[in-house]
Chain A
Amino acid sequence: AQSVAQPEDQVNVAEGNPLTVKCTYSVSGNPYLFWYVQYPNRGLQFLLKYITGDNLVKGSYGFEAEFNKSQTSFHLKKPSALVSDSALYFCAVRDGGNNRLAFGKGNQVVVIP
Chain B
Amino acid sequence: EPEVTQTPSHQVTQMGQEVILRCVPISNHLYFYWYRQILGQKVEFLVSFYNNEISEKSEIFDDQFSVERPDGSNFTLKIRSTKLEDSAMYFCASNSPYSGNTIYFGEGSWLTVV
Residues of A participating in the B interface, judged by any CB pair closer than 8 Å: 32, 34, 36, 42-46, 49, 51, 90, 92, 98-106
Contact = CB atoms under 8 A, between A and B. Distances in A.
Nearest to B10: A41
Interface stretch (B38-46, B66-74, B78-86): B38-46
B107 A49 contact: no
Given A44-B91, A51-B100, A90 B107 contact: no
Interface in B82-101: 91, 95, 100-101
A51 B42 contact: no
Interface class of chain B by DSSP: strand
B101 A51 contact: yes
Which of B58, B95, B101, B106 has the most chain A CB atoms inside 10 A of its CB?
B101
Contact of B43 (A49, A51, A98, A103): A103
Nearest to A98: B56
User: How many B residues are at the interface, by size bracket?
Assistant: 20 to 34
Interface string B21-44: 000000000010101000001111
Contacts of B102: 34, 46, 49
Interface of B: 31, 33, 35, 41-45, 48, 50, 55-56, 58, 91, 95, 100-108
B106 A100 contact: no
Contacts of B101: 32, 49, 51
8 contacts: A32-B101, A43-B108, A92-B43, A99-B95, A101-B103, A103-B42, A103-B43, A103-B44
B45 A101 contact: yes
B45 to A, nearest CB: 5
A100 to B, nearest CB: 5
